[in-house]
Structure 1
């Protein structure tokens, strides 16, 4: 049995560095799970803390910076850790455990968490727990600064005795409501009234993003709540006072800003927010570039990948997948139609029959929910009677290599030793293209054996020309002029992002629920499980921590939860209906 099978690990504050990214691959290759979403938090998880935030006495240090670098919502994650007290150790314990062949948690490895010190960053949220959105918003006017855009409004919290997991999931569900979904709710607003309400929605969405980027979660959440409240409001907003009176998440301060927007059509600070968001998005839309790196580069005045290359050349040596994100930047931001998705799946299945006829592949994500266009493709592999994910990983490796030999796979974004043998030269070619010196060590880049996921760049044969490629050029996102020397994109014959992953056959139903999505639906059904004293993960439905109730049959999981089965094609509509009723 693999060392980390059944174990969950959380990297804090993130795993963006090459060392921590490599450790996360080691965990996955040994059947462990790396937590990437607050809904996956588990009191049995092991928290792995970046050594740079641990002092000689094994205490957490540089706490303010530590919290700001979180990739997940810090108040949700940290409140969960303080409440549940999971094991917290240095991240480099992973390599130690693999050397000795067992997980040990001696006192000298434990990171000491000082509750009083580490909660200071969240006193605004914890201080008023249990109060309503309206009460929180009404307090805002006495707390805001003189700036026309410095607004704060707090989230509501449930009673302190309720499980922080339920609180976390509920908050995340209410805040993660993208502006694009407003279109789906347009029937709540008369056609002639859309412009005013839409202007307010976009304004508060931009301001929320601005303060999120600055690390001010308090103000960011205030704007998010205001935006959601306006999205759900069924009438035209004619004044700030009307919004304050009728919308629970709008207090006097935000009402003042609403009035300014209605009177002038804008608000001081909006342009700054939009410009900053555009700059950061340019970087973060590249594969393997996170918000922390983007903020750092922007702070240093770097405007392009070429600027980053001059300032931090080691980034592209260490985190080599960024080179392919840069090279296929424009391709990977283009949507693909269902016809192209079908053709890619057909190619994969045809080759899979030759690799292992007993193995099956099926599309997940937005495609199976009926989306007309998809950004990338998630393909789930399973084999009847097979619960050995190592075997499935090797099947996927053989398949990926066969597709590479046939000319369908353009690039690999993870390396096993076998893949490095055939693809290493392509990585070195991209490094040389940047005029960088290739590291002298023989095993560059590092590889991980027995991967359970494979991230690919995939290109169909040139004769397949989807209809949607007639998209006008002005709608396509382009690389900056200084960055175009690395481009391998082709608007007429684009490369696509395709991910392979697998599940145990006995867990097929639970895996389908997880990977079909959307996230809002997954949060809803997991909260339902918690409310009934159960736990739902991609591995199954459990009573308590380890009594498995069902994992193979997704319809049976719904039945055990006392809910009617909701098919993939109905899940988006179901979530939007719930949002309208809220």
Structure 2
């Protein structure tokens, strides 16, 4: 069937999947080229090739005649062989993407720095698939920001590269957005950008991005990107796994059910609930219920809800709780006490489902698991280990929440037949995470989990300059832990202003 055709598999790291593809080609009369050791990164998104600089550099155009190549997905080949029909009518497109490089990425590869944006006529879906939300769940972009249009374009690109797991470009866009959100004058040129805090490397992209923003062009996600986002919003399915599923031709959760484990099934059951923001008032109700249970189990158990809630923000994405006991550094002991709290909260109906287990908790949640596997019509399959739980992740509910039209505008919903997987418990299920802390490292733990990311980065950088290592479980000097339970003592040690949690929204 493949006689007369020669194939070059890109990227062709010697993995079992690539070896299988080459075997298929050989068995069907085709040939494959000499192995070219490319970095194992996907070059395909939607109907076009991405990562052009790497693509050109590693392919070496002097050895490979690009003008004679027709580019297809590996999944296309398997479909052709299954149906015994070759279809070369829809090759992938080789065109440049919009690129913003961070300063550390500046390079000279000899590749022309051209830019194209997918036009509406090139997209495969006319649905409203524009990406406009920030990585910060609490941030609502004000329409009166003078750089609103520019920020909107940047948010689209930030989301696109985050989906592609392209960390450098994603961080580049995120950096630009954070700076521009605090700029109160309109950026109209590269010079304006530099004067307002953007580096030269980022500023040189401003004219093109301004033109894009003023034209009203939208950066719509293609079908592949829509599916990546759809899958990745399910708990337990990350960038790597979602890309695998898309490359295999899957587009719905109905396709994935046979491959999903119990934590992913739980994420799918509460897919829509876990997309929604949590109002501060609701978090306070969670706090009251948990504190009451802890006091009933052991009066020495202490808790602190961290993250954006502790920083005074009106909404959170989930509820992170640091648990400790004064003077206690034995996490196994704290874990046994927390297990009693978990049992109490589950028996009262507050905790709905677990996301990690040990043998004790597995027995506790047997009724939930039977309900879960029955809901998805799958055989019972749950593994647990007989060890203390130093972190406990779960879903819990206190009330029914009605989504906010503006603040929850970017929340995804299940599509088509996938809607049948939604589990309705009469309340809105929320992600609640318990994190145990040793008392001797509590100060650093509270700094880390309170955030925000910018404040944490500042603290770690200054600590390193002074010979310390600041982590989420303590502060170290010459490899030795320095016992500090007070977060303000940590800040004083490293020479950072002792800001209150509500002042750390940098």
Distance 1:356 1:350 in 2: 10
* Greater helix proportion: 1
Are 2:102 and 2:202, in contact at CA under 8 Å, matched by a contact in 1?
no
Change (3 A) 1:495 1:550: same
Corresponding residue SS for 1:415 = coil
1:332 touches 1:495 (CA, 8 Å); kept in 2? yes
The 5 Å alignment of 1:106-505 reads: 133=103, 136=106, 143-149=111-117, 178=135, 191=144, 194=146, 197-214=147-164, 220=170, 223=173, 227=177, 230-231=180-181, 234-238=184-188, 248-249=199-200, 254-255=205-206, 257-258=208-209, 260-261=211-212, 264-266=215-217, 270-272=219-221, 276-309=224-257, 313=258, 315-316=259-260, 319-438=261-380, 444-460=382-398, 475=409, 477-489=412-424, 493-505=427-439
CA distance in 2, matches of 1:416, 1:292: 27
- Alignment correspondent of 2:494: 561
Give 1:201 shift.
Answer: 2.3
- The secondary structure found in structure 1 opposite 2:321 is strand
* Cα distance, 1:64–1:375 mapped onto 2, change above 3 Å: same
Q: Structure 1 residue 147: deviation in Å? A: 4.4
Consecutive unaligned residues in structure 1, runs of 5 or more: 1-50, 54-61, 69-130, 151-176, 576-582
Counterpart of 1:65 (choices 33, 37, 40) is 40
CA shift, 1:146, in A, is 4.1
In the alignment of these two chains, the number of paired residues is 400
- Please list the CA deviations of residues 189-227 of structure 1 after superposition, one character each: whole Å capped at 9, or x if unmatched: x94x72xx3222222332344345445556556555555
CA shift, 1:325, in A, is 0.7
- Cα distance in 1 between the residues matched to 2:315 and 2:138: 15
TM-score (norm 1): 0.60
SS in 1 for 2:220: helix
Q: CA 1:361–1:571 in 2, change beyond 3 Å: closer, same or farther? A: same
- Structure 1 contact 510–541 (Cα < 8 Å) conserved: yes
1:410 is displaced (CA, Å) by 0.8
- With over 3 angstroms needed to count, the CA separation of the structure-2 counterparts of 1:52 and 1:384, relative to structure 1, is farther
Asked if the contact 2:138/2:313 (under 8 Å) is kept, the reply is no
8 Å contact kept, 2:138–2:314: no
Unaligned runs of 5+ in 2: 1-14, 18-36, 44-100, 119-133
Tell whether the 8 Å contact from 2:163 to 2:229 is kept in structure 1 after alignment: no
Counterpart of 2:451? Answer: 517
CA distance 1:405–1:261, shift in 2 (3 Å):
same
- 1:365–1:516: 8 Å Cα contact kept in structure 2? yes
Give yes or no for contact 1:179–1:205 (8 Å, CA) kept in 2: no
Whole-angstrom CA distance in 2 between matches of 1:52 and 1:522: 41
| Cα distance in 2 between the residues matched to 1:135 and 1:474 | 34
CA distance in 2, matches of 1:473, 1:540: 35
CA distance in structure 1 between the aligned counterparts of 2:220 and 2:370, rounded to whole angstroms: 41
CA contact (8 A) 2:194 2:203 kept: yes
Between structure 1 and structure 2, the one with the greater Rg is 2
Distance 2:496 2:194 in 1: 36
Query: Counterparts in 2 of 1:31-46, with a 5 A limit?
Result: none
Q: Please tell me whether the aligned partners of residues 328 and 488 of structure 1 are also in contact (alpha carbons under 8 angstroms).
A: yes
Which whole-Å CA distance do the structure 2 matches of 1:450 and 1:198 have between them? 49
How far residue 365 of structure 1 moved from its aligned partner, in angstroms, is: 1.5
**Cα RMSD (Å):** 3.8
Alignment match, 2:504: 571
Measured in 1, the distance between the counterparts of 2:496 and 2:384 equals: 47
Within 1, Cα distance between the matches of 2:137 and 2:303? 31
CA distance in 1, matches of 2:405, 2:256: 31
Contact 1:240 1:258 in 2 (8 A): no
CA separation of 1:262 and 1:425: change in aligned 2, threshold 3 A: closer
Q: What SS class does the counterpart of residue 374 from structure 2 fall into? A: helix
Q: Distance in 1 between matches of 2:420 and 2:105?
A: 55
Partner of 1:508: 442
Distance 1:336 1:216, change over 3 A: closer
Task: Report the 3-state secondary structure (helix = DSSP H, G, I; strand = E; otherwise coil) of the residue aligned with 2:352.
Answer: strand
Compute the TM-score of the two structures, normalised by the length of structure 2: 0.68
Q: Is the 8 A contact 2:102 2:172 kept in 1?
A: no
Cα displacement (A) at 1:406: 1.3
Structure 1 counterpart of 2:461: 527
- Say if 2:441 and 2:475, in contact at 8 Å, map to a contact too: no
Aligned in 2, Cα 1:265/1:243: closer, same or farther, shift over 3 Å? farther
Task: Give the match's secondary structure for 1:64.
Answer: coil
Alpha-carbon distance change, 200 to 307 in structure 1, aligned in 2, over 3 angstroms = same
